[in-house]
């Protein structure tokens, strides 16, 4: 299983249609340095939208493409593209500047519109992905049939998009199972959080065979937001997956860099990293102040300390237990 982080595309909606240079670089570094290397990037409405649709962002397509250059050998960076903007000019520009994939976005049932786009992307030797936007508007049987055609035309991965955050876990499971059974290519899931179900739905997708899950740092995305990347990492690591991602490093990046940077834009995450650590470790919040006090005194990482102590005692950790664990951490 892999995360396809969409912060630098869908997440751009929280500030308009994209992020400025400083935030873009900050997030590229934070993601890649902590092992999240499959990244969708650029204007929130995709390549070509700045010019053709007036979807102004802090940077135009060329500026975003040039900004990504130092990271191209460290990850798989690509862009979204709407069908009407999937023209030779835009596709050639993305290929020229090293994009690994273009993900075509079209409403479920309208896949026939993408055949020529797929050919163009393949012509320019990029991976063609496909977003089944509003996947819930047609039956899983019709969606499977559509995806079979897309696969025949050369699509290399499809994503079930819960664009309105309306799907229920059983529904996600049914759709995912149908597509996984029908296709040989990877099936992914993109969950919005309008009903607070983005994580539950993503778990359902994963348990039903999805091999890629879309996410956004701090849950950033259009409307109620996406599955928070950091929450996905914590939850799936509890299930024995996504182990190559540095969870504690990611949390530190959020605490020290991204959360303060986004606070300047009045963006606040619904669930902070410390609360996620309490969840993944099973540590009750009643003990937070004690852990903070001892971590500060011994100059050790608070989250490492919580995780270490909670492995042995999640019921009623004592000061002595926490101090002992902190001293062990301090010694390395």
Residue 252's contacts (CB-CB under 8 Å, 6 or more residues apart) are 301, 303
For residues 148 and 177, membership in a common domain is answered with yes
Rounded CA separation 77/5 (Å): 10
Closest CA to 81 of 125, 37, 50, 123: 50
Note whether residue 269 is domain-resident.
no
**Residue 270 domain flag:** no
pTM of full prediction above 0.85? yes
Three-state secondary structure call for residue 75 = coil
- Supply the angle between the helices 88-96 and 115-123 in degrees, to the nearest 10: 30
Q: Are residues 235 and 288 in the same domain?
A: no
> CA 115, 119, 122 angle in degrees (round to 5)?
140
Domain containing residue 144: 2-263
How confident is the model over 168-209, as pLDDT tens digits? 999 999 999 999 999 999 999 999 999 999 999 999 999 999
Q: Per the domain annotation, does 272 fall within a domain?
A: no
Query: Is 87 a member of any domain?
Result: yes
What confidence category does residue 51 fall into, taking pLDDT thresholds of 50, 70 and 90? confident
Query: What percent of the chain stands above pLDDT 90?
Result: 98
Asked whether 29 and 65 are in contact (CB, 8 A), the reply is no
Residue 268 lies in a domain: no
Evaluate whether residue 234 is within a structural domain: yes
| 83 & 44 share domain | yes
Question: What is the domain count for the chain?
Answer: 2
Q: Dihedrals φ, ψ of 82, to 5°?
A: -75, 150
pLDDT digits (tens, 9 = 90+) for 251-280: 999 999 999 999 999 999 999 999 999 999
pLDDT tens for each residue of 7-41: 999 999 999 999 999 999 999 999 999 999 999 99
- Distance, CA of 222 to CA of 228 (rounded, Å): 13
Residue 200 falls inside a structural domain: yes
> Is residue 235 located within the same domain as residue 303?
no
Nearest CA to 169 among 215, 204, 134? Answer: 204
316 class by beta-carbon count within 10 Å (0-12 exposed, 13-18 middle, 19+ buried): exposed
At which residue do the structure tokens 């590229």 appear?
A: 28
In a domain? residue 82? yes
Residue 332 clears pLDDT 90, i.e. is over it: no
Residue tagged 């026939």 (tokens): 112
Q: Check whether residue 39 and residue 117 sit in a common domain.
A: yes
289 and 141 share one domain: no
pLDDT tens, 204-226? 999 999 999 999 999 999 999 99
- Spatial separation of the C-alpha atoms in residues 178 and 280, rounded to whole Å: 31
* Same domain (yes/no): 58, 169: yes
Across the range 71-96, mean pLDDT stands at: 97
C-alpha gyration radius of the chain: 21
What's the CA gap between 292 and 279, in Å, rounded? Answer: 16
Residues 257 and 286 in one domain: no
pLDDT at 160 over 90: yes
CA nearest 84: which of 109, 57, 110, 58?
110
In this structure, are 82 and 226 located in the same domain? yes
More confident residue, 332 or 148: 148
- The answer to whether residues 202 and 209 touch, using CB atoms and an 8 Å cutoff, is no
Residue 53 has pLDDT above 90, yes or no: no
Nearest one of 244, 240, 220 to 75, comparing CA atoms = 244
């Amino acid at each position: 299983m892999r995360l396809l982080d969409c912060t630098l595309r869908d997440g751009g909606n929280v500030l308009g249609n994209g992020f400025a240079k400083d935030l873009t670089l900050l997030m590229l570094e934070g993601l890649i340095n902590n092992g999240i290397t499959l990244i969708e990037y650029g204007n929130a409405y995709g390549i070509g939208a700045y010019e053709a649709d007036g979807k102004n962002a802090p940077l135009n397509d060329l500026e975003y493409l040039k900004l990504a250059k130092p990271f191209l050998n460290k990850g798989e960076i690509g862009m979204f593209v709407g069908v009407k903007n999937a023209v030779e000019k835009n596709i050639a520009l993305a290929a020229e500047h090293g994009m690994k994939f273009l993900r075509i976005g079209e409403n479920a049932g309208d896949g026939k519109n993408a055949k020529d786009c797929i050919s163009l992307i393949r012509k320019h030797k990029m991976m063609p992905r496909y977003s089944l936007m509003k996947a819930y508007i047609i039956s899983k049987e019709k969606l499977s049939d559509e995806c079979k055609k897309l696969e025949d035309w050369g699509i290399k991965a499809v994503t079930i998009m819960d664009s309105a955050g309306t799907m229920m876990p059983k529904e996600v499971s049914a759709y995912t199972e149908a597509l996984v059974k029908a296709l040989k290519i990877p099936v992914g899931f993109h969950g919005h959080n309008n009903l607070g179900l983005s994580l539950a739905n993503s778990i359902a997708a994963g348990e039903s065979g999805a091999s890629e899950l879309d996410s956004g740092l701090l849950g950033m995305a259009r409307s109620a937001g996406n599955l928070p990347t950091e929450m996905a990492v914590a939850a799936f690591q509890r299930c024995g997956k996504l182990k190559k991602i540095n969870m504690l490093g990611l949390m530190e990046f959020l605490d020290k860099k991204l959360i303060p940077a986004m606070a300047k834009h009045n963006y606040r995450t619904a669930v902070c990293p410390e609360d996620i650590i309490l969840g993944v470790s099973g540590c009750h919040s009643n003990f937070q102040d004690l852990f903070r006090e001892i971590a500060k005194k011994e100059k050790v990482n608070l989250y490492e300390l919580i995780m270490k102590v909670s492995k042995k005692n999640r019921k009623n950790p004592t000061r002595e237990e926490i101090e002992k664990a902190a001293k062990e951490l301090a010694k390395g």
